[in-house]
């Protein structure tokens, strides 16, 4: 089962790299919970809204898989984000600079769908890259 779950996470990342939010949310269970690095929890609709905003800031956002592993019903992805700053980011006007940042996604599955998606990253390196 874990290899099937890994395929789902790879497909989620591929959809992310195409900025296909409608496809991204198809991998989530209806009652899925997305937990951000600040422990703020989102439902599917809130996640769609956040990614609509985020992809307007970084329209070429891309995740590279550095490590993907799973155990039972959990998949862990170590990723590298890369994106060009093209929109307002917390008051920072577009700089056209490319920013990178490591991230970790942890996805828990039930019946082939993601029931919990935890995203961990530190936004400070991105902000620093944009203002330097």
Task: Give the strand pairing for 28-35 and 113-120.
Answer: parallel
Instruction: Look up the CATH number of the domain holding residue 64.
Output: 3.10.450.50
Statement: residue 1 has pLDDT above 70: no
Q: Give the position of tokens 């790299």.
A: 17
Q: What is the pLDDT of residue 40?
A: 79
Task: Report the predicted TM-score, pTM, of the whole model to 2 decimal places.
Answer: 0.93
How far is Cα 61 from Cα 54, in angstroms, rounded to an integer?
9
Q: What is the pLDDT of residue 39?
A: 73
43 three-class SS: coil
At residue 67, what are phi and psi to the nearest 5 degrees? -155, 135
Task: Give the domain extent around 52.
Answer: 2-131
Q: Report residue 7's pLDDT band, with 50, 70 and 90 as the boundaries.
A: very high
110-131 pLDDT per residue, tens: 999 999 999 999 999 999 999 9
What are the tokens at 73? Answer: 């019903």
Count of structural domains, the chain: 1
């Amino acid at each position: 089962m874990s290899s099937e779950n890994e395929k789902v996470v790879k497909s989620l990342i591929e959809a992310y790299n195409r900025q296909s939010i409608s496809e991204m949310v198809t991998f989530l269970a209806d009652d899925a919970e997305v937990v951000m690095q600040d422990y703020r929890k989102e439902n599917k609709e809130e996640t769609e809204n956040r990614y609509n905003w985020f992809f307007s800031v970084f329209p070429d956002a891309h995740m590279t898989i550095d490590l993907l592993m799973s155990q039972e019903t959990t998949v862990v992805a170590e990723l590298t984000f890369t994106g060009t700053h093209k929109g307002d980011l917390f008051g920072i006007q577009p700089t056209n600079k490319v920013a990178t940042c490591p991230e970790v996604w942890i996805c828990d599955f039930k019946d082939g769908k993601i029931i919990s998606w935890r995203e961990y990253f530190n936004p400070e390196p991105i902000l620093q890259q944009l203002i330097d």
